[in-house]
Amino acid sequence: MQKRKILYILIFILSLPVGRLWSCDAPVFRYALERWLPSLYRVYLFHNKALDQETNKCAAWLEESSIEYSTTGNYHFETVNVTKEMNHEKKECLEQLKTADYPCLALYYPQSMAFMAALWQGKPSMKNARKIIHSPSRNEISKRILSGDGVIWLLIQSGNTDEDQQTEKMVSRKVAQFTEIINRKLTFEFSAISKAKTRRTRFSLISIPRTPEEEIFISILMHSEPGLKKFSNYPILFPVFGRGRILYALAGAGIAESSLEEATGYLTGICACELKSDNPGMDLLISADWEAYGEAWIDEDIPLVGLSSMIEFKQQELFGDVKDDIKLSENFQLVKTIQLDTEDKASLNMVMIITIISLVLITGGITVLIIFNNKRKKE
């Protein structure tokens, strides 16, 4: 009888979800900062003749700041002569331009995105080149994250002063609550984070005015999900985490306390350490030295892999059919990165190995139990 109990206990243990046993006990926002590399935007300078001095200066600056020559820019830059043969991807980008007034500078999402049109296009100049890569709000985002902010809420102002102020007041109040809650969680719940009591973070809010300096950044945000442009006259809110990654958009009356709490619950929850491409969100174009985040929170000795089955991420229907009450990204996965980086592939291989081992052990345990029962019957 005692042996039988032991076998049942053994099978129960082997049947536990392996992904959970191997998952990383760290919050999503921090795991994303330390492990998820941002996707690459594309900046092309289309021309049909030799470039003049000013255009060459602009091209040289963009090239020096790109991923090919810098560790801070998450974009690829290339000059494209439209009179010569081009590959399919560049032809497609050229066809998406509104006008063909050369030379033309154009910005596009990463290739994995469904939105193919240019996010912005204009004359090549140093002023425009800097606006593509930098803006006051983007500089502030990188500064805050690298100084310890876990999640930053971006609020695109509607232009209605009363509505914007009311929204800012509500979000600021919730942000203060979230900061208190997450620091309590870091102290008592995230055991895998070494020296948890010394790990503190902040949540904050950045309001983005609709100014020429922010024009390109607002275009990046507004095209991140289908249908957002319908809410141009409403406040729009985006939670930003990791290396400049937005989770999804909340617009108009969808900016409710329950919506903020749900998003915060996901970002501060225990990370199952899956592939970035299996998680909701989209990377922004932000120039920053993300490797300068300071001392790592995540223990390198902890296997940072998990099984997709370990996450049950279920959206609540918060707003029904009420007019102008919208929570965009209905499945939280409208935007997904298709290409896997090297770390993602390694994690996927590890997940497969763990899954196979788990199945073998479970099958072996069941087999032993059957043999044991058959032996008892014979006796």
Asked whether residue 359 is domain-assigned, the answer is no
Asked whether residue 107 is domain-assigned, the answer is yes
Query: Are 114 and 141 found together in one domain?
Result: no
Domain count, the chain: 2
Asked whether residue 369 is domain-assigned, the answer is no
What Cα–Cα distance (Å) separates residue 20 from each residue in 29, 93, 268, 274, 309?
19, 43, 17, 11, 9
Average pLDDT of the chain? 78
Last residue of a domain, one of 129, 159, 175: 129
pLDDT at 344 over 50: no
Least confident among 187-201, 206-220, 240-254: 187-201
Query: Are 158 and 100 found together in one domain?
Result: no
134-156 confidence digits (pLDDT tens): 999 999 999 999 998 999 999 99
CB 153 within 8 Å of CB 204: yes
Asked whether residue 294 is domain-assigned, the answer is yes
- Tell which phi-psi region holds residue 289, choosing left (phi > 0), alpha (psi between -120 and 50) or beta: beta
Asked whether residue 375 is domain-assigned, the answer is no
> Helix/strand/coil (H, E, C) string of the chain?
CHHHHHHHHHHHHHCCCHHHHHCCCCEHHHHHHHHCCCCCEEEEEEECCCCCHHHHHHHHHHHHCCCCCCCCCCEEEEEEECCCCCCHHHHHHHHCCCCCCCCEEEEECCCCCCCCCCCEEECCCHHHHHHHHCCHHHHHHHHHHHCCEEEEEEEECCCCHHHHHHHHHHHHHHHHHHHHHHHHHHHHCCCCECCHHHCCCEEEEEEECCCHHHHHHHHHHHCCCCCHHHHCCCCEEEEEECCCEECCCEEECCCCHHHHHHHHHHHCCECCCCCHHHCCCEECCCCCCHHHCCCCCECCCCCCCCCHHHCCCCCCCCCCCCCCEEECCCCCCCCCCCCCCHHHHHHHHHHHHHHHHHHHHHHHHHHHHHHHHHHHHHC
Phi, psi angles (nearest 5°) of residue 260: -65, -40
Decide which of 199 and 30 is more confident. Answer: 30
Distance, in Å, from the CA atom of 228 to the CA atom of 107, rounded to the nearest integer, reads 19
What pLDDT does residue 253 have? 80
For the segment 80-86, the average pLDDT, to the nearest whole number, is: 94
- Neighbouring CB atoms inside 10 A of 95's CB total 10
Query: Are 186 and 225 found together in one domain?
Result: yes
Query: Are 310 and 214 found together in one domain?
Result: yes
| 265 half-sphere exposure, CB direction, 13 A CA radius | 12
- Neighbouring CB atoms inside 10 A of 117's CB total 14
pLDDT at 5 over 80: no
The CATH number linked to 89 is 3.40.30
Query: Are 78 and 208 found together in one domain?
Result: no
Query: Are 79 and 181 found together in one domain?
Result: no
Query: Are 76 and 163 found together in one domain?
Result: no
Decide which of 318 and 82 is more confident. Answer: 82
Query: Are 104 and 223 found together in one domain?
Result: no
What pLDDT does residue 370 have? 72
Last residue of a domain, one of 129, 152, 183: 129
Q: Which of 93, 74, 80, 55 is nearest to 132 (CA)?
A: 74
Asked whether residue 365 is domain-assigned, the answer is no
Asked whether residue 343 is domain-assigned, the answer is no
CB 37 within 8 Å of CB 106: no
Q: Which of 231, 230, 248 is nearest to 239 (CA)?
A: 248
Query: Are 67 and 199 found together in one domain?
Result: no
Q: Tokens representing 200?
A: 């503190």
Query: Are 104 and 125 found together in one domain?
Result: yes
* pLDDT-derived band at 192, boundaries 50, 70, 90: low
What pLDDT does residue 197 have? 52
28-68 confidence digits (pLDDT tens): 898 899 889 999 999 999 999 999 999 999 999 999 999 99
Length of the chain: 379
* pLDDT-derived band at 350, boundaries 50, 70, 90: low
pLDDT at 9 over 60: no
Last residue of a domain, one of 72, 107, 129: 129
Query: Are 215 and 179 found together in one domain?
Result: yes
Q: Are strands 149-156 and 202-208 parallel, antiparallel or unpaired?
A: parallel
Query: Are 300 and 214 found together in one domain?
Result: yes
Type of residue found at 362: I
Asked whether residue 192 is domain-assigned, the answer is yes
Q: Which domain holds residue 245?
A: 22-33+136-327
